[in-house]
Amino acid sequence: MQETQLVRNVALMGHGKSGKTSLAESLLFTTGKTTRLCKVDDGSSTMDFEPEEAKRHASINAAFNNLSWKKHQIFLIDTPGDDNFNNETLFASHVTDSVLFVIDAVDRVKNQTEKFAAMVEERGLPGLICITKMDRERADFEATIDAIRNQLPFTPAIVQLPIGAEADFRGVIDVVRNRAFLFEAGTGKVKETAVPADMADLVAEQREALMETVAETDDELIEKFLEEGELSDAELTEGLSKAARAGALNPVTVGAPTANLGTELLLDLMVACLPSPQDRPAQVGTDPKSEELIERLPSADAPFSALVFKTMADPYAGRLTIFRVYSGTLRGDSFYNPSKECAERYGQLLLLEGKEQRPVESAGPGMIVAVTKLKETVTGDTLCAADAPILYDRLVPVAASIAYAVMPAKKGDEDKLFSSLNKMLEEDLTLQLTRESQTNEIILAGVGQVHIEVIGEKIKRKFGVEIALKLPKVPYRETIKGKARVQGKHKKQTGGHGQYADSWIEIEPLPRGQGFVFEDRIVGGVIPRQYIPAVEKGVQEAMAEGIVAGYPVVDIKVALVDGSFHAVDSSEMAFKISGSMAFKKGAQEANPVLLEPIMGMTIKIPKECVGDVIGDLNGRRGRVMGMDSESKCEVVNAQVPMAEVQQYAQDLTSITGGRGQFSTTFSHYEEVPMQMADKVIAQAKAAG
């Protein structure tokens, strides 16, 4: 097993299409992990190996691999850059020690870049910044640096300058060593040489700026820099490494991953400037019994502990459980799961290498490994030594923001569909599967449209079931606004016994949310006691059928006040029919209205988008309940009818350029405006 000090655990993060996966492929190729430079665009990528990823030329899942460079072992997590799959990146940020933040020199900083940078800042992760696509048309290094300084919460420290750009990108200058490295055509190798004369002044200027940036992170260095005006090469190198590992600054490198340009120099910086697990703080958890806070040092000699941050469902191999080791050394064939209070046995311990898996004998701090076919363990669970239990905080997934009614495309596949959906729920914690009791629909909620579509594609490929999606029915309800006193008289004469029941009821509205109250006010035995429950049942059955549009009736008080019976022809069935008749008649006379569900919404948006978002909410019949300010955004709290926000995710993305996010919760029911109610009633009647 690798010494912990020589382990690096790195997540590649950045906006979609910035070149993260291409960079991972070039790192694997340069270190000899792969025998050819695999590419995303031609579908040969070892990291984007799922068919859904090959189809879209984009990462959907976090992918894993490892490589060796100058006696160090580097564990890579290649994360998606699409908002639909942010949860993969979020969970990766919780278990990684450092970040290789990827920004391309053409598109520079985008909305997604800012979201991921905020994630890095919140987690306090040290990292490098790699500016990619320097060989592409419109590549602009200086503009990219300006965007980083102005828009991201990073402290960029330029350690490499590009020589040329676009088609003329032919090398980099190592500012620390004050040397140039020219690319050897077609190999990705570099040739060391002197700094070009026409760049000497720029390099000197950048080297002085780098010295100042590094010096500001250390009291001794800043004192020397202020006294002497410079740092020695050794002081600059050591100061840069120390500051970068602590997250005080972010070294900036350049490259062109698809051509494998600049990768060797980047690998050197990853080894020198990214922290090992031992450089990171101890992991804090709780004692499962005493609930006191305890720590686990990132040492191979400490008690074993790990956190499960991803689960993959496979119809053949079963469940693949992926976890990051925080402390100790895992050997043997079992561990303890304090989240489930049970021991779990496993077969092989596996290193993930793209879609392949390689068995290993043990795993220590910083390593990302997997085991198969655990019975109880799910994403978010802690694993540890049975004699030294610890419980880490569970991972909280990204909130779902879009929902569809889901059903099998082919009749008879219901059981197969819901079995496969449950497997997807184990794999993806952002998915939510619920049954709407009123409409009897199965509702599948996810992060976005593409997210739901990809889930459908995976289910079809893995489990052979095709799903059909449609917008969920809005669970309208009905109530009354007035009062009525009515008679429900059921009389039917046939051969033999007839049917007779006579019920008088009074109905009135209840406050919203009170449901249904039935009151027995019969005196003098005008209706025998055994028939009164039948009247109540008849009323409830009529309420379930609705008054105006077939939706359930709520918030009504019904009092049974009078009636009559026949000694021979009365029965429970007759009084049930009588109660139903009375309710239908009374409800029609008591000003029936339609109710709609109102959702409470919390919407986080850039400050400049507030006016547009509030205007849009007003157009959806929404009410703004208040606003709060955060450091970089405004938070709008609103109440909006469910019918108006079923596809709000796409609309908010359009309004804010992808920078907005929201969450919804059910709030209450309100009366539907008359004009809207007429449309809903007409649609309900047309639907039968």
Cα 221 from Cα 239, distance rounded (Å): 8
pLDDT of residue 413: 87
Is pLDDT at 338 greater than 90 in this prediction?
A: yes
Per-residue confidence (pLDDT) for residue 21, from 0 to 100: 93
The rounded distance, in Å, linking the Cα atoms of 378 and 340 is 9
Nearest to 661 by CA among 169, 119, 144: 119
| pLDDT, position 242 | 96
The residue extents of the domains of the chain are 4-278, 298-384, 402-470, 478-590, 595-686
Residue 228's pLDDT is what? Answer: 87
For the chain, counts of helices (H) and of strands (E): 16, 34
| Span of 122-126, 145-149, 201-205, 346-350 with lowest mean pLDDT | 346-350
> CA 292, CA 310: separation in Å to the nearest integer?
27
Kindly report which listed range (20-24, 46-50, 167-171, 416-420) carries the lowest average pLDDT score: 46-50
CATH of domain 478-590: 3.30.230.10
* pLDDT number for residue 633: 85
* Rounded alpha-carbon distances, angstroms, from residue 647 to 8, 620, 671, 684: 42, 12, 22, 21
pLDDT of residue 662 exceeding 80, the answer is: yes
pTM: 0.85
Which pair of structure tokens corresponds to residue 550? Answer: 């077939």
Find, among 587, 573, 595, the residue nearest to 671 by Cα. 595
| Tokens matching residue 142 | 């200086």
Cα gap 377→335, rounded to integer Å: 11
Q: Answer yes or no: is pLDDT of 44 > 80.
A: no
The pLDDT of residue 233 is above 80: yes
pLDDT-derived band at 186 (thresholds 50, 70, 90) equals: low
pLDDT of residue 315: 64
pLDDT band at 437 (very low <50, low <70, confident <90, very high): confident
pLDDT of residue 124: 94
Question: 200-224 in b/e burial notation, b at 16+ Cβ within 10 A?
Answer: eeebeebbeebbbbbbbbbeebbeb
Strand partners, 327: 305
pLDDT digit string, tens, across residues 1-13: 579 999 999 999 9
User: CA separation (Å) from 511 to 24, 47, 263, 484, 639?
Assistant: 61, 58, 68, 17, 19
| pLDDT tens, residue by residue, 591-644 | 999 999 999 999 999 889 999 999 999 999 999 999 998 877 899 999 999 999
Task: Supply the DSSP string of 549-607, one letter for each residue.
Answer: SSPPB-SEEEEEEEEE--TTT--HHHHHHHHHHHHHHHHHHT-EEEEEEEEEEEEEE-G
Q: Which CATH number is 298-384 given?
A: 2.40.30.10
Residue 395 CA to residue 16 CA, distance in Å, equals 23
Average of per-residue pLDDT values in the chain? 92
Whose tokens are 């950045």? That residue is 14
Residue 462 or 181, more confident: 181
pLDDT at 331: 92
Residue 651, pLDDT above cutoff 70: yes
- Tens digits of residue pLDDT in 247-291: 999 999 999 999 999 999 999 999 999 999 999 999 999 999 999
Beta bridge partners of 499: 492
Determine the 3-state secondary structure of 295 from DSSP.
strand
Q: What is the mean pLDDT of residues 326-350?
A: 93
**42 has a pLDDT exceeding 80:** no
CA separation for the pair 249, 223 (Å, rounded): 18
Q: Are strands 156-158 and 250-254 parallel, antiparallel or unpaired?
A: parallel
Q: Does 391 have pLDDT greater than 90? A: yes
Q: What DSSP assignment string belongs to 422-484? A: HHHHHH-TT-EEEEETTTTEEEEEESSHHHHHHHHHHHHHHH---EEEEPPPP--EEEESS-E
For residue 72, pLDDT over 80 is answered with: yes
The CA distance from 315 to 280, in Å, is 38
Q: May I ask the CATH architecture of the domain 4-278?
A: 3-Layer(aba) Sandwich (3.40)
**Fold entry, domain 595-686:** Alpha-Beta Plaits (3.30.70)
| CATH 3.40.50.300 for the 402-470 domain, yes or no | no
Mean pLDDT to the nearest integer, 329-338? 93
C-alpha distances in Å from residue 242, one per residue of 218, 239, 246, 318, 367:
9, 5, 6, 43, 22
Residue 234 CB burial class (10 angstroms; 0-12, 13-18, ≥19): exposed
**Contact predicate 247/124, CB 8 Å:** yes
What CA–CA distance (Å, rounded) separates 606 from 619? 20
- Name residues whose C-beta falls within 8 Å of residue 599's C-beta, 6 or more positions apart in sequence: 639, 640, 641, 642, 645, 664, 665, 666, 667
Given a cut of 70, whether residue 495 has pLDDT beyond it is: no
Smallest CA-to-CA distance from 23 within 90, 79, 106, 69 is with 79
Looking at residue 650, what is its pLDDT? Answer: 87
pLDDT, tens digit, 9 for 90 and up, residues 468-489: 999 999 999 999 999 999 999 9
pLDDT number for residue 316: 66
**Would 402-470 and 595-686 be classified into the same CATH topology?**
yes
Is 688 a residue whose pLDDT tops 80? no
Q: How far apart are CA 269 and CA 250, in angstroms?
A: 11
pLDDT over 70 at 389, yes or no? yes
pLDDT tens, position by position, 532-576 = 999 999 999 999 999 999 999 999 999 999 999 998 889 999 999
- State residue 165's pLDDT score: 93
Query: In DSSP terms, which residues pair with 432 in a beta bridge?
Result: 445
pLDDT exceeds cutoff 80 at 243: yes
In this predicted structure, the answer to whether residue 188 has a pLDDT above a threshold of 90 is no
Over residues 402-407, the mean pLDDT reads 91
Q: Which helix (H) or strand (E) holds 359?
A: strand 356-360
By percentage, how much of the chain surpasses pLDDT 90? Answer: 74
CA distance 9 to 76: 6
Question: What percent of the chain shows pLDDT beyond 70?
Answer: 98
Could you list the beta-strand ranges (E) of 203-331.
Answer: 250-254, 283-286, 293-296, 305-314, 318-327
Q: How confident is the model at residue 386 (pLDDT cuts 50, 70, 90)?
A: very high
Are 543 and 552 spatial neighbours (Cβ–Cβ below 8 Å)? yes
Residues 6+ positions from 367 with CB-CB distance below 8 Å = 2, 7, 9, 75, 324, 325, 351
DSSP string covering 26-84, please? HHHHHTTSSSS---TTTT--SSS-SHHHHHHTS--S-EEEEEEETTEEEEEEE---SGG
Residue 618 is which amino acid?
A: N
The pLDDT score that the predictor gives to residue 635 is: 93
Is 237's pLDDT higher than 70?
Answer: yes
Radius of gyration of the chain (CA): 33
Nearest to 443 by CA among 454, 431, 434: 434
